[in-house]
Each structure stands twice: as structure tokens, then as C-alpha cells.
């Protein structure tokens, strides 16, 4: 199959064609030509779109899919379709399924179920057995089966020695250890950011200290053990400062931030909408500004949608009883495009996460494998439930203004475009 993309503005700082408008010809999954003009042959599948832009394919490092066990929330098949149409050629899938992804067989199951899809699925294996935080899981076996990192999704490792051993053990096979930044003893039964809004609304608060104390512990352990540590979805100003200092001191640490923590604050809680209950919680405007600055200065390596489908029975309830989580694949680009420049977005959705998680790096040049995301950065619209592709509808961004549009992806010799 030969596909011709006409008048494409290329966003790829590693490419000689960065910020240039070119025609791109792809033949059997390989970029065969990039030229100012390529004639349209009758055997070509010609793609023309308004203000068409392309970058290397995006990679989301934190995606939850219900299957196995919670198929009513999302299936692997539909979740991959959502990812493709949201611009993601690769997703890392969290182990919070039933059973938990904590052994070689369950890792192989995920990979098998995603076989031949346009979007690549990369399992994250649980760091501990059944994600209970007590005993370390079969990390090496899972890595051999295809797991790209190890962590218990949204569950902190409270046992200091267990994390120490994991950081030491994973060095034997260059494994990446994830540690969720939350001290449960400090967070207690909190459901929202501790501050003015939680007090006025009568909601139990989660202090920023709960996150920062855990990060400080993790960084001390990393300094002692060596190894590779990734801290997912940080949310506070002090967290950015701690990680910045650790990097300056030469520690091998990376971190991510969720899209919603870059855009929304705890001012959203006044409607007591369960869709706004996320973990970590929505913080203050000072935190949001610090997180954005952390992205711009390179302290924060990557951005994730932290896509977490939750069925209506667990969301349309009293705020304190609602399960944490929001879907986010469909809105990730449109939200980021309203607050960051395109080159920064592409670095945080493509280059940086692929390097950290050990995925194959690609660039936009001739004779390269076609791993591409297509989008239009212009135009705005209001995101409503009819725009949701996921099975679950728990979006924190309902009725928010979105800037830009994702057209789709080309990956694994497959073209997936939105209607």
C-alpha cells in the first residue's frame, strides 16, 4: 500500500524537515519520499486535510484498560482504537486489572490481545505481587515477556526496604522502577487537595506534603542504591523543586505530569462532580504554574493523559465515594495545545518518554519506518460526551474548550483516521 500525504507541516526537531511543509509518501510502512511536491498517481491513497501537521508518533506512559476483569470500563480492542484516533502510536498499560499484571503469563496475554493493532501496547508489570505492596513480583520474567517498566498503579510503596531492593534488583537488567508519589499515612482518608477549597466544601484534604514526603524518601533511596527511577504524575510546586535538585545532583530520575493537573485547579470542585475526583488531586493555580514551568525548563520529562476509564456506577455517586480517575486520551492534545507550544508537546509526548522507557526512536526522514501522528493545531471546539470514544464517559474535561484536532496515526503499516 502506498499513501501520499499532501502539504504536511513537519514538527520534529530531530528531522532536517522540521517546521517545513512537505509531501510525504509512505510505501509498505516506510517513508519513501519527502519532497516539496509529489505527483498524485492513481494507485496512491491520497490524504489531504486542512492545515495538516505531522510529528513522530506519540507515546502515553500511563493508560488503564479494564481488560482483563473490568471489561465494562474498557476493552483492549476499543482502548487501542481510542488511542489511535487520539494520536497515540504507543501506550504503556497499567497493571490495575483483575487479575493484576504481575507475572509473565498476564504480560503475554496483554501483548497477544493487542497483536496486529495500529497502536502498540506496552505492558507495565506490577512491582509487587497483586499490587499489594508486600512482596516483589516476578520482574525479570515480566521484562523478558515484554514489560517495559514496573510499578503499582496509583499505589505507593510504603515499605522502604522493598523499594530499595527493587531499585537494586532492576539494575541487573536495566529495568525502570516506578514509585507513585503518595504517603498514605499523611494523605489519610483525604479526597481533595488540602486547602481553602476543601475546607469551604467540607471535604477531607490531601496535603501536598503527602506527595512531597514520598518523593523525598524515594530520592534518598535512589541516591543510596543507584538504578533508574520514574515518578509518575507529580502535582505540586515543591515536587518540581525536589526533582529538579535531584537531577542537578546527577540522580537517574524522571517524572511525568497528568494533563488535567496542568490545566485544572481545585476550584473545579464546587460542583461536587465525581468526574473531577482524581489521584493525585487537582491542586492550586500556584502548583499548575510551577508544573508548566517544570515542563518548559526540562525538569518534567513527559506528559501523560493518565487515562483511567471508570464505569458510571462508581462515578455518579457522592464525591467522597467516587473512584479516582478520568479518561484523557481524547482530550490530551487539545488541552496541551492550549497551554504549550507544539515542539514542547511533541517532546513530552514522543521523544522524551520513548527514550526513558526504551522504545525504538524514530524521526521523519526518508527510508525510516513510518511512526507518525497527524493533527491540526488550529481551531477550537467545546468537548462534550458525543466526542468521547471510550466505553466509559468519566471525563474531567466535559464542556471545556479544546484547541486543535487530531486526525489520526500511521503506524505498523496501518493508517487510522478520524471520520
Three cell numbers at 397?
A: 474535561
- Assigned CATH for 57-357: 3.20.20.140
- Widest distance between CA atoms in the chain: 66
Which are the contacts of 140, defined by CB distance < 8 A and separation ≥ 6?
Answer: 172, 173, 175
The whole-angstrom separation of Cα 26 and Cα 89 is 16
The sign of the dihedral angle between the CA atoms of 373, 108, 358, 289 is positive
Q: Would you call 174 exposed, middle or buried from its count of C-beta atoms within 10 A (0-12, 13-18, 19+)?
A: exposed
Three cell numbers at 218?
A: 524515594
The whole-angstrom separation of Cα 14 and Cα 364 is 8
Provide the terminal-to-terminal Cα distance of the chain, rounded to the nearest Å. Answer: 20
The whole-angstrom separation of Cα 379 and Cα 372 is 21
Residue that has been written with the C-alpha cell 514526603 in this structure = 213
Q: If DSSP codes are grouped into helix, strand and coil, which group holds residue 288?
A: helix
For residue 82, what pLDDT is reported? Answer: 98
Three cell numbers at 213?
A: 514526603
Beta strands in 18-164 (DSSP E): 21-27, 30-35, 45-47, 53-56, 58-63, 88-93, 120-125, 149-150
Q: Is CATH 3.40.50.1220 the classification given to domain 2-53+366-379+402-417?
A: no
Q: Judge contact between 52 and 407, C-beta under 8 A.
A: yes
pTM of the model: 0.97
The 3 state secondary structure assigned to 352-405 is HHHHHHCCCCCCCCCCCECCEEEEEEEEEEECCHHHCCCCCCCECCCCCEEEEE
For residue 419, what pLDDT is reported? Answer: 80
What is the domain partition of the chain in residue ranges?
A: 2-53+366-379+402-417, 57-357
- Omega prior to 280 cis, within 30 of 0: yes
R_g (Cα) of the chain, nearest Å: 21
Instruction: Name the catalytic one among 160, 301, 306, 311.
Output: 306
- Omega prior to 112 cis, within 30 of 0: no
Torsion of CA 183, 188, 192, 196, to 10 degrees: -100
Instruction: Verify whether residue 306 is a known catalytic residue.
Output: yes
Q: Which residues of the chain have pLDDT under 70?
A: none
The whole-angstrom separation of Cα 176 and Cα 125 is 10
Listing DSSP states for 306-334 in one string gives: -B----GGGTSS-GGGSPS-BB-TTTHHH
Residue that has been written with the C-alpha cell 507475572 in this structure = 103
For residue 110, what pLDDT is reported? Answer: 97
Q: Judge contact between 226 and 248, C-beta under 8 A.
A: no
Amino acid at each position: 500500500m502506498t499513501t501520499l500525504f499532501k502539504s504536511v507541516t513537519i514538527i520534529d526537531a530531530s528531522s532536517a524537515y522540521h517546521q517545513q511543509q512537505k509531501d510525504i509518501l509512505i510505501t509498505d510502512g516506510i517513508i519513501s519520499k519527502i519532497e516539496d511536491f509529489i505527483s498524485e498517481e492513481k494507485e496512491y491513497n491520497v490524504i489531504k486535510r486542512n492545515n495538516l501537521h505531522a510529528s513522530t508518533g506519540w507515546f502515553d506512559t500511563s493508560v488503564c484498560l479494564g481488560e482483563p476483569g473490568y471489561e465494562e470500563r474498557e476493552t483492549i480492542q476499543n482502548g487501542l482504537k481510542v488511542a489511535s484516533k487520539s494520536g497515540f502510536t504507543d501506550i504503556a498499560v497499567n497493571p490495575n486489572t483483575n487479575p493484576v499484571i504481575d507475572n509473565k503469563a498476564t504480560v503475554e496475554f496483554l501483548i497477544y490481545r493487542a497483536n496486529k493493532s495500529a497502536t502498540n501496547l506496552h505492558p507495565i508489570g506490577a512491582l509487587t505481587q497483586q499490587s499489594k505492596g508486600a512482596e516483589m513480583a516476578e520482574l525479570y520474567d515480566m521484562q523478558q515477556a515484554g514489560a517495559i517498566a514496573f510499578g503499582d498503579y496509583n499505589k505507593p510503596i510504603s515499605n522502604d526496604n522493598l523499594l530499595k531492593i527493587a531499585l537494586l534488583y532492576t539494575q541487573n537488567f536495566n529495568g525502570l522502577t516506578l514509585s507513585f508519589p503518595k504517603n498514605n499515612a499523611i494523605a489519610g482518608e483525604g479526597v481533595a487537595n488540602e486547602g481553602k477549597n476543601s475546607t469551604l466544601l467540607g471535604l477531607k484534604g490531601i496535603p501536598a506534603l503527602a506527595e512531597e514526603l514520598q518523593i523525598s524518601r524515594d530520592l534518598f533511596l535512589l541516591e543510596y542504591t543507584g538504578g533508574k527511577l520514574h515518578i509518575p504524575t507529580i502535582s505540586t510546586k515543591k515536587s518540581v523543586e525536589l526533582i529538579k535538585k535531584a537531577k542537578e545532583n546527577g540522580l537517574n530520575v524522571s517524572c511525568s505530569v497528568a494533563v488535567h493537573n496542568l490545566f485544572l485547579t481545585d476550584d473545579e470542585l464546587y460542583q461536587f462532580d465525581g468526574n473531577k475526583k482524581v489521584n493525585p488531586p487537582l491542586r492550586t493555580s500556584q502548583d499548575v504554574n510551577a508544573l508548566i514551568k517544570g515542563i518548559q525548563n526540562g525538569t518534567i520529562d513527559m506528559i501523560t493523559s493518565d487515562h483511567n476509564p471508570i464505569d458510571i456506577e462508581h462515578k455518579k455517586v457522592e464525591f467522597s465515594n467516587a473512584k479516582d480517575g478520568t479518561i484523557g486520551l481524547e482530550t490530551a492534545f487539545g488541552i496541551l495545545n492550549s497551554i504549550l507550544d507544539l515542539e514542547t508537546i511533541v517532546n513530552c509526548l514522543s521523544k522524551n518518554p520513548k527514550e526513558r522507557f526504551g522504545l525504538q526512536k524514530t524521526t521523519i526522514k526518508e527510508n525510516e519506518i513510518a511512526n507518525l501522528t497527524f493533527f491540526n493545531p488550529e481551531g477550537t471546539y467545546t468537548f462534550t460526551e458525543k466526542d468521547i470514544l471510550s466505553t466509559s464517559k468519566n471525563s474531567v474535561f466535559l464542556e471545556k474548550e479544546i484547541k486543535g484536532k487530531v486526525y489520526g496515526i500511521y503506524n505498523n503499516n496501518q493508517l487510522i483516521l478520524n471520520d
